[in-house]
Amino acid sequence: MITLDSIHKSFRNHTALENLCLKVASGDIYGLLGANGAGKSTTLNLVLGFLQADSGTIHMTHPEHDSTITSNEIGYIPENVQLYPYLSGLENLEYFCTLAGRTYSQIELSNFLTTCGLQREAHEQRTSEYSKGMRQKVGIAIAMAKQAKVYLLDEPASGLDPLASNELSTLLKNLAADGAAILMASHDLFRVRETCTRIGILKRGRLVKEILSNDVTSKELEDIYLNFMKD
């Protein structure tokens, strides 16, 4: 479970986040919506530990035994996954897994990539020849291979074609079904509505609305979002 309690973060005179409270239970996929500069990436960076909050607390705990989740159990997919261009998809995955202290056979690694939708022919190809979507899939495979309990995704569907985007949704749902807590930041209202269980709208660093995605249609979500953005 991810818990953000009364988080405040400012950069010089600019308040990036103000009294942010947010909970993502295991099995939940929480979608953070907001305009550019609303604080979505700042929130993710705080959870990742790349930034320190001015005040407030962030906890990540196992649902079963309430112990703290370590960085080794966090999967992260940036908006633009940059891999080592001189390595193949398989080699990249192997390298990042090794760093995380996990060793898999070539078949297992290949299976991760396939599960993430990367075609088998591309596994041995150098990633310098990959499209953004292909790199994104390797990024997801890296997070998956970690068997993370918490996933943090920054615009994960950005640059993906509709099919790949749909596959990503399915993948995330499967991960959530396995008990992972997923927090993703996105601009894509439709994808968020399709993928997430809960949606939060951030505006100038404040969480202005939380919605259960089952309670709204895509059209209603768009109306709510635009309504908030107008003010």
Enumerate binding residues for another protein (CB under 8 A).
45, 48, 50-51, 71-72, 74-76, 78-84, 86-87, 95-101, 139, 142, 146
Residue with Cβ nearer another protein (31 or 139) = 139
Spatial CA neighbour of 48 closest among 142, 183, 222:
183
Concatenate the DSSP letters of all residues of 40-89 into one string. HHHHHHHHHTSS--SEEEEEEB-TTT-PBPPGGGEEEE-SS----TTSBH
CB of 172 to another protein, least distance (A): 18
Cβ at position 143, least distance to another protein in Å? 9
For another protein, the closer of residues 89 and 201 by Cβ is 89
Which is closer to another protein, CB of 85 or CB of 162? 85
> CA-CA distance, 100 to 19, in Å (whole number)?
33
Beta bridge partners, 68, equal: 61
Which residues have a Cβ under 8 Å from the Cβ of 163 and sit 6 or more positions away?
Answer: none
C-alpha distance from residue 217 to each of 184, 191, 212, 222 (Å): 19, 12, 10, 9
| CB of 92 vs another protein, minimal distance in Å | 10
Kindly tell me which of 127 and 213 has the beta carbon lying closer to another protein: 127
In the complex with another protein, the residue whose CB is nearer, 86 or 162, is 86
Q: How far is the CB of 153 from another protein (least distance, A)?
A: 12
The DSSP H or E segment spanning 112 is: helix 106-115
Q: How far is the CB of 96 from another protein (least distance, A)?
A: 5
State whether residue 124 is helix, strand or coil. coil
Chain-centroid distance of CA 203 in Å reads 19
